[in-house]
Amino acid sequence: MKMNRRGFIKACGIMTGYAVLSVNMTKVAIASAMDFVGLRQKSVYDADANSKIYKLRKSQDNPMVKKIYDHKTGFLHEGPCGHMSHHLLHTHYVDRSARVKALKAKGFKLNF
Amino acid sequence: MKKIEGVMYQANAPKGVDPDSIFFVQVDATKCEACGSCEEVCGTGAIQSINEDGIRQVIDPAACMNCGQCLSNCPYGAIYEGISYVDEIFEKLKDPDTVVVSMPAPAVRYGLGESFGAATGTYVGGQMHAALRQLGFDYIWDNEFTADVTIMEEGTELIQRVQEQGKKDARPLPQFTSCCPGWVKFAETFYPDLLPNLSSCKSPIGMLGPLAKTYGAHETHTEAKKIYTVSIMPCIAKKYEGLRPELADSGFRDIDATINTRELAAMIKTAGINFNSLPEQKPDPALGDSTGAATIFGTSGGVMEAALRLAYEVLSGKKLKNPEIKVVRTHEGINTADVKVPGFGTVKVAVASGLKNAAKLCDEVRAGKSPYHFIEIMSCPGGCVNGAGQPLDPEITASLFRSTVAKINQRFRARKVTA
């Protein structure tokens, strides 16, 4: 069978259609439409539930957490939110609205 | 400019520079095709058309929260990163007088493998630790350890806030999480009136930096001034956080360098390490060990679930038998849940990813109509596993034909999810 120009373009169109559709069909078949981000999220929860990777699942059970907060010998012996914690592990925040206000005054449109 | 895992980077390692003056992401106008994908995903509207051709630019660092979703979603690879510490880190690794310590975030281990041919999301934590050791890091400390510490601090803060309600000078509720640097800058820029609601806790990396140079120095008998801390993140905004002037509580810069998953992958390749044949190794003790509660920081709803695993036990005085609190797990958008805690009542929580969703919850708080105790916010849809420092989704950066197909597929999938 001889392929003319019109026929060739039509065939290309159909093939493209199938390419797009088949990708979707497979995806749907694979299960519950897991996307790229969903796959990574699932992997995180699988690791959390896998006792070969994480023996413990609660922060307060981590032996190194117990060590650092130990009432007698711990580096943070006053416990969470104690003085040393406040010095090293807590912070303060800065109002940064002025520069955005200046941008808006210049005529820039932002979402907020 | 240097190409790293498909993304262009300026080889610029700033020191003592005001991070508010840096474009952490910017559009290369010569590569921009004016498709507008970046503008669609930008939460704040910082990236916009600058001329009649529709060429996009980040208009000002003040308007950009550095989340980098524009970069991840650009089909033309037209958006580049403004800073990279890779060269400096290689120099420090060679220097015998510098003690270089690694601080990889939870989400890095769910993306790094993709740069070496693994399936999307494959967990490669053990190989990651081995690779860091082979690269010459002196101590393989892990940001997951301080994710556990963050839960102790932030969970305790939440319980304190709940208990002090009605008293004089009580800190307000709801308490917002403060782990995500894009979200923190967003709150500072657009909702400064809500800063008292933001947890005063630093992020896990904000905690590991100073702990490495104080506690870590003490535990390993190392002079603090010799320690060079390398934050390894799935994120671009963490580069901004690392440069915040106030993060110097150890007496030194708490965080000396910040790179992301793509840059770590490139370092491993440059060093000629065969990643896939590496054995699984553990991090170094004291600042390395972690739990499942720490690893779930990498996904939307994870910080909430980890905090509830603590709050439940503290408030009820009982053991939480099943640590899985699946109602707070959030694929995208906003999720709210009531969690019943015996002896306390109902803990009301909300979880959101994406800054436009964050703004909705902020507006509720501003209007005094927010019913929640605790709100978790992440800038990137789905959380840190989808951070803009992770290896790119190959579908988005594929050829124009494939990216068109990808777009159609995305629509198709979107319909499927809601059906």
> Cβ contact (<8 Å) for B293 and A59?
yes
Instruction: Tell me if A22 sits within 8 A of B367, measured CB to CB.
Output: no
The H or E element spanning position A88 is helix A83-88
Q: Do residues B123 and B249 both lie within one domain?
A: yes
Q: How far is Cα B305 from Cα B295, in angstroms, rounded to an integer? A: 11
Q: Do residues B337 and B229 both lie within one domain?
A: no
User: Domain for residue A4, yes or no?
Assistant: yes
Nearest CA in chain A to B186: A96
User: Domain for residue B418, yes or no?
Assistant: no
CATH classification of the domain holding A105: 4.10.260.20
> Cβ contact (<8 Å) for A112 and B382?
no
Q: How many CB atoms lie within 10 A of CB A49?
A: 14
The residue range of the domain holding B110 is 86-145+204-291
> Cβ contact (<8 Å) for A103 and B383?
no
Q: What is the pLDDT of residue A28?
A: 46
Q: How many CB atoms lie within 10 A of CB B104?
A: 28
User: Domain for residue A81, yes or no?
Assistant: yes
Query: What ipTM describes this predicted complex?
Result: 0.93
pLDDT, tens only, A6-23: 888 888 787 777 776 665
Chain B residue numbers touching A48 (CB-CB < 8 A): 292-293, 295-296
> Cβ contact (<8 Å) for B291 and A58?
yes
For helices B261-270 and B86-94, the axis angle rounded to 10 degrees is 50
Q: Do residues B155 and B69 both lie within one domain?
A: no
User: Domain for residue B416, yes or no?
Assistant: no
pLDDT, tens only, B26-49: 999 999 999 999 999 999 999 999
pLDDT at position A86 over 60: yes
User: Domain for residue B221, yes or no?
Assistant: yes
> Cβ contact (<8 Å) for A41 and B381?
no
Nearest CA in chain B to A109: B45
Q: Do residues B180 and B74 both lie within one domain?
A: no
Nearest CA in chain A to B294: A59
Q: What is the pLDDT of residue B161?
A: 96
The residue range of the domain holding A102 is 58-112
Q: Do residues B179 and B275 both lie within one domain?
A: no
User: Domain for residue B18, yes or no?
Assistant: no
- Closest by alpha carbon to B112, among B398, B385, B396? B385
Chain A residue numbers touching B18 (CB-CB < 8 A): none
> Cβ contact (<8 Å) for A60 and B44?
no
- Closest by alpha carbon to A47, among B154, B260, B318, B108? B108
Q: Do residues A70 and A111 both lie within one domain?
A: yes
Alpha carbon of A98: minimum distance to chain B alpha carbons (Å)? 8
Alpha carbon of A6: minimum distance to chain B alpha carbons (Å)? 21
User: Domain for residue B57, yes or no?
Assistant: yes
B276 CB-side CA count, 13 A:
7
Residues shown for chain A:
112
Residue B51 burial by Cβ neighbours in a 10 Å radius (0-12, 13-18, 19+) = exposed
Q: Which of A30, A39, A40 is the best mutation test for B, with the most CBs of B within 10 A?
A: A40
Q: Do residues B333 and B359 both lie within one domain?
A: yes
Asked whether the CA dihedral A47, A49, A53, A57 is positive or negative, the reply is positive
Q: Do residues B127 and B213 both lie within one domain?
A: yes
Task: Point out the domain boundary residue: B263, B291, B319.
Answer: B291
Q: How many CB atoms lie within 10 A of CB A102?
A: 12
Q: Do residues A70 and A112 both lie within one domain?
A: yes
Q: Do residues B307 and B232 both lie within one domain?
A: no
Chain A residue numbers touching B185 (CB-CB < 8 A): 96
Tokens matching residue B200: 């005063």
User: Domain for residue A40, yes or no?
Assistant: no
Q: What is the mean pLDDT of residues A43-71?
A: 97
Spell out, as residue ranges, where chain B has pLDDT lower than 70.
397-403, 405-407, 409-419
Instruction: Tell me if A36 sits within 8 A of B120, measured CB to CB.
Output: yes
Q: Do residues A27 and A62 both lie within one domain?
A: no
Nearest CA in chain B to A76: B215
Task: Point out the domain boundary residue: B258, B291, B324.
Answer: B291
Q: What is the pLDDT of residue A11?
A: 81
Number of structural domains (chain B) is 3
Q: Do residues B73 and B136 both lie within one domain?
A: no
Q: Do residues B220 and B139 both lie within one domain?
A: yes
For helices B261-270 and B125-135, the axis angle rounded to 10 degrees is 50
Q: Do residues B276 and B305 both lie within one domain?
A: no
> Cβ contact (<8 Å) for A112 and B44?
yes
Q: Do residues A25 and A65 both lie within one domain?
A: no
Active site residues of B: 154, 157, 179, 199, 238, 241, 246, 384
Instruction: Tell me if B149 sits within 8 A of A68, measured CB to CB.
Output: yes
Q: Do residues A62 and A112 both lie within one domain?
A: yes
User: Domain for residue B419, yes or no?
Assistant: no
Q: Which of A12, A41, A106 is the best mutation test for B, with the most CBs of B within 10 A?
A: A41
Nearest CA in chain A to B44: A111
Q: What is the pLDDT of residue B418?
A: 44
Of A28, A103, A112, the CB nearest to B190: A112
> Cβ contact (<8 Å) for A91 and B206?
yes
Of A44, A57, A93, the CB nearest to B198: A93
Alpha carbon of A83: minimum distance to chain B alpha carbons (Å)? 12
Q: Do residues B138 and B265 both lie within one domain?
A: yes
Alpha carbon of B147: minimum distance to chain A alpha carbons (Å)? 8
Alpha carbon of A8: minimum distance to chain B alpha carbons (Å)? 18
> Cβ contact (<8 Å) for A96 and B201?
no
Q: Do residues A25 and A72 both lie within one domain?
A: no
Number of structural domains (chain A) is 2
| Residue B290 backbone zone (phi > 0: left; psi -120 to 50: alpha; other: beta) | beta
User: Domain for residue B401, yes or no?
Assistant: no
CATH classification of the domain holding B229: 3.40.50.1780
User: Domain for residue B16, yes or no?
Assistant: no
